[in-house]
Amino acid sequence: MNEFSQQAIFSLDQRDLPTSWINILPDLPVPLPEVLHPQTKKPMTPGDLAPLFPKALIEQEFSQERHIEIPKEVLDILKIWRPTTLHRAFRLEKALGTPARIFYKYEGSSPAGSHKMNTAIAQAYYNKEEGIRRLTTETGAGQWGSSLAIACAMFDLECMVYMVASSFYHKPYRRYMMETWGARCIPSPSQETLAGKEALKQDPASPGSLGLAISEAVEDALLRDDTRYTLGSVLNHVLLHQTIIGQEAMAQMAMTGFEPDILIGCVGGGSNFGGLVIPFVRDKIKGERADLRIIGVESSSCPTLTKGLYAYDYGDVAGLTPILKMFTLGHRFMPPPSHSGGLRYHGMAPIVGHLKTLDLIEATAIAQREAFEAGILFARTEGTISAPEANHAIAATIREAMRCKENNEAKTILFNLSGHGHVDMVAYEQFLSGKLKDIECPEKEIDEALKALPVI
C-alpha cells in the first residue's frame, strides 16, 4: 500500500453541520476598539447603524455571546452545499518532495464558487426577516456579488451589485453569473450615485476600486427605506458567519489524525481567513495549541497588514461608512489593478488586525507571479484550478512546505482554498503566455494615502 491509498477527502455528514457560529469578541484578551460614527466621530450606537443593516446583524456585530445559533432557515440553505470537503494534497506533497502534510479546506464547491455564500445567505435571511425588499452591495472579482445574487434569489429579494469597473469589463462571466441568478449588476463608478458621478467627473475612465464601489452601494441603501446595504467581508458579523469553515475544518482534521501546526489563508478583507482561523484562535487564547502558527497572506500590490498603519479609517472612499480601527493603506488609496480583485482593498477586518497586534497571527505578502506559479502547480497535481486570491494561500503553503523540506520536519499545514478560478482563466492565460507581470508595490501612493490617517 503506497501513500496514495490513504484517504484523500474527509467528509462530514450533513447531520454534523455546525449549528452555531463562533463569536470571538467575548474571548479576546483585549477588547476590540470601538467603532466611530463617520460624521460625529463619537462611538457608534447600534441605532446609528440601523439605516444600513437589519437589527439582528447589528446585534451580532457587537455581541458578547460566545455562540450564536444559526437560524434553521439559514441552515436549510447552507445544506445545499455544506459541509464542504477537507482534502489532503498528496500529489502536491509528492511534487514538492516535502515531508510536510498538506491539507486544504475547499470552499470552491459552493454554487457561487467561494466561501462568500456562507455570509450572503445569513445576511439575506436577516434582512428578509425584517421586511427589507432590496439589497445593495459592491463586488471586486465578483465572488461576493455572485454569492449575494444567489442569496437574494433564494429569499426573493432584489439584488443590486456595484461591480468595480475594471473587473466588470475584464470578467464578464461573473456578471453573466449574477444576472443568471437574477441580480442587476452595473460598473462602478456609475451615474446612479453622487459618489459615482463625482468619481467619473474626476476620471471618466476610472477603473474603480472596492472602496469607491462601497460608497456607491452605501449611498444607494441610505436613500431608500426598503433597501439595506450588505458587506462581504471586514465586519465582525461577516467573519462570524464564516466560522462555520473553521468549525468544520477542526472536526475534519480530527478525522485525519493530525493536528495542524500551521494555518494559512489569503487576506483581502479578512473573511475567509477569519472564518478558518477563529475557532483555532479561540483555543490559542485559552492556552491550547500554543505552537500553532497562523498566517494571513496578502497581495504584495495591496499590502495592508504588512505595510499599512493600524489606525482609525473609513471603509470607503467617500467616508460614508463607520470609522474602524484597522490595518489600512488609507481610504483614498487606489490599489493597482491585479487579477486578485478580492485582495484589492485598502482596509482589513478589525478582528484580523487586532489579532495581529496581539501576536496571535502573522502576515506575509506574496507577488502575483509567485501566486500563479503556485496555482499552476496545484492545478497540475491536484486538478483544481484555484481563484487568483487563493493562489496566494497556496504559494505561502508551498513556502512553508519547502521550509519543512530544508529542515526535514513533517509539519501539518492546513490552508483555506477559498474559491475556484473557473472564471479567472484570462489571468491564467496571461501568466502562461508570459504576459503577466508582478505589480510593483505602490510605495509612493501608499505613503501619500497614509498621510490622511488617522481620520480622527
Cross-strand partners of 143: none
Cross-strand partners of 134: 158, 227
Residue 411 and residue 431 in contact, taking contact as beta carbons nearer than 8 Å: no
Interface residue with a second copy, options 384, 391, 397, 412 (CB under 8 A): 384
Q: CB of residue 210 vs a second copy: minimum separation in angstroms?
A: 23
Q: CB of residue 369 vs a second copy: minimum separation in angstroms?
A: 15
Residue 153 and residue 80 in contact, taking contact as beta carbons nearer than 8 Å: no
Report the C-alpha gap between 104 and 372 in whole angstroms: 17
Identify the H or E element spanning 274.
helix 271-285
> Using the rule CB under 8 A, is 8 a contact of a second copy?
yes
> Using the rule CB under 8 A, is 434 a contact of a second copy?
no
Q: CB of residue 111 vs a second copy: minimum separation in angstroms?
A: 3
Residue 315 and residue 214 in contact, taking contact as beta carbons nearer than 8 Å: yes
Q: CB of residue 425 vs a second copy: minimum separation in angstroms?
A: 4
Cell of 321: 461608512
Angle between the 117-129 and 55-62 helix axes, to the nearest 10 degrees? 130
Interface residue with a second copy, options 51, 71, 99, 182 (CB under 8 A): 182
Determine the distance from the C-alpha atom of residue 318 to the mean position of all C-alpha atoms in its chain, rounded to a whole number: 22
Report the C-alpha gap between 244 and 19 in whole angstroms: 9
Q: CB of residue 69 vs a second copy: minimum separation in angstroms?
A: 14
> Using the rule CB under 8 A, is 153 a contact of a second copy?
yes
Q: In this chain, which stretch among 175-183, 187-195, 219-227, 273-281 interacts with a second copy, using CB under 8 A?
A: 175-183
Site size toward a second copy (CB under 8 A) is: 54
> Using the rule CB under 8 A, is 93 a contact of a second copy?
no
Cell of 297: 497572506
> Using the rule CB under 8 A, is 180 a contact of a second copy?
yes
Q: Which is nearer to a second copy, 135 or 214 (CB)?
A: 135
> Using the rule CB under 8 A, is 379 a contact of a second copy?
yes
> Using the rule CB under 8 A, is 429 a contact of a second copy?
yes
Residue 24 and residue 278 in contact, taking contact as beta carbons nearer than 8 Å: yes
Q: CB of residue 199 vs a second copy: minimum separation in angstroms?
A: 27
Q: Radius of gyration of the chain from Cα atoms? A: 20
What is the CB neighbour count within 10 angstroms for residue 2?
Answer: 6
Question: Which residues touch 376 (CB under 8 Å, ≥6 apart)?
Answer: 428, 431, 432
Phi-psi region of 246 (alpha: psi -120 to 50; beta: other; left: phi over 0): alpha
Interface residue with a second copy, options 41, 42, 66, 380 (CB under 8 A): 380
> Using the rule CB under 8 A, is 179 a contact of a second copy?
yes
Interface residue with a second copy, options 162, 181, 312, 333 (CB under 8 A): 181
Q: CB of residue 258 vs a second copy: minimum separation in angstroms?
A: 16
Interface residue with a second copy, options 300, 420, 439, 441 (CB under 8 A): 420
**Range 67-86, binding a second copy (CB under 8 A):** 72-73, 75-76, 79-81
Q: CB of residue 22 vs a second copy: minimum separation in angstroms?
A: 22
Q: CB of residue 423 vs a second copy: minimum separation in angstroms?
A: 6
Four-residue CA torsion sign, 9, 10, 13, 14: negative
Interface residue with a second copy, options 70, 234, 423, 441 (CB under 8 A): 423
Q: CA angle 32-27-68, nearest 5°? A: 95
What is the CB neighbour count within 10 angstroms for residue 70?
Answer: 19
**Range 39-68, binding a second copy (CB under 8 A):** none
Cell of 87: 482534502
Question: Which residues touch 146 (CB under 8 Å, ≥6 apart)?
Answer: 112, 113, 114, 116, 139, 174, 177, 178, 181
Interface residue with a second copy, options 56, 148, 154, 165 (CB under 8 A): 154
> Using the rule CB under 8 A, is 422 a contact of a second copy?
yes
Determine the distance from the C-alpha atom of residue 402 to the mean position of all C-alpha atoms in its chain, rounded to a whole number: 26
Q: In this chain, which stretch among 4-12, 57-65, 272-280, 295-303 interacts with a second copy, using CB under 8 A?
A: 4-12
Q: CB of residue 373 vs a second copy: minimum separation in angstroms?
A: 12
> Using the rule CB under 8 A, is 340 a contact of a second copy?
no
What is the CB neighbour count within 10 angstroms for residue 123?
Answer: 31
Interface positions with a second copy (CB under 8 A) = 2, 4-5, 7-11, 13-15, 72-73, 75-76, 79-81, 87, 90-91, 109-113, 117, 150, 153-154, 172-173, 176-177, 179-182, 376, 379-385, 420, 422-423, 425-426, 428-429, 432
